[in-house]
Amino acid sequence: MSIPIFGKAHEAQAGADFTWFVYGSSLDRVAFATWAGSHGYVVPDFTKARPARLPGWRLAFDVVSKHWGGAVASLAEAPGQFVEGLAVPVPGSARGLVEHKEGAVSGLYTALEVSLQPLDGSAPLPAVAFRAAAGRRLTAEAPPSPAYLEVMVKGARQAGLSPEWQARLTALSR
């Protein structure tokens, strides 16, 4: 079933190409493709995506999602910690898709310029990550939605993220 969605995301003007840091439910390719298809988007090419770490940040489950039935991940500054995900090069023409998927169109999340450390040891990589908007966060973190966490764990495996990171995500479900 295709849901006709029109507005800011579909009308966004193409900008410069960028690297998108994917760390949440979009890591699961099937879930992402299902979402994209139901919203009238073509899935970006993930063949050049690379596993990477975002140093100085941690996952924060401080956003409630009706879709996931509980708390979903955002980013919180945390010196000495890190978040793993995929560094996905995307064309500027896909900026609307990314902002829609990340909840920036509705004001739930905001874009953040970051520097990633690719897991292959190559040079740091500038990227765009998304974190919950200050006014949309819970006053305290909540347990992650089990369905959301399951998709994150599955996506981390698919993305080839480190065994350490996969174990950390799995431990959140206990």
Q: Which domain holds residue 63?
A: 8-164
Residue 23 within a domain: yes
117 φψ region: left (φ > 0), alpha (ψ -120 to 50), beta (else): beta
Residue 17 within a domain: yes
Residue 60 within a domain: yes
Residue 24 within a domain: yes
pLDDT of residue 107: 87
Residue 105 within a domain: yes
Rounded Cα gap, residues 51 and 53, in angstroms: 7
pLDDT of residue 51: 98
Q: How far is CA 50 from CA 83, 118, 154, 169, in A?
A: 14, 7, 17, 19
pLDDT of residue 2: 39
pLDDT digits (tens, 9 = 90+) for 140-169: 999 999 999 999 999 999 999 999 999 999
**What pTM value is reported for the model?**
0.89
Q: Work out how many domains the chain is built from and give that number.
A: 1
Residue 172 within a domain: no
pLDDT digits (tens, 9 = 90+) for 81-107: 999 999 999 999 888 899 999 988 888
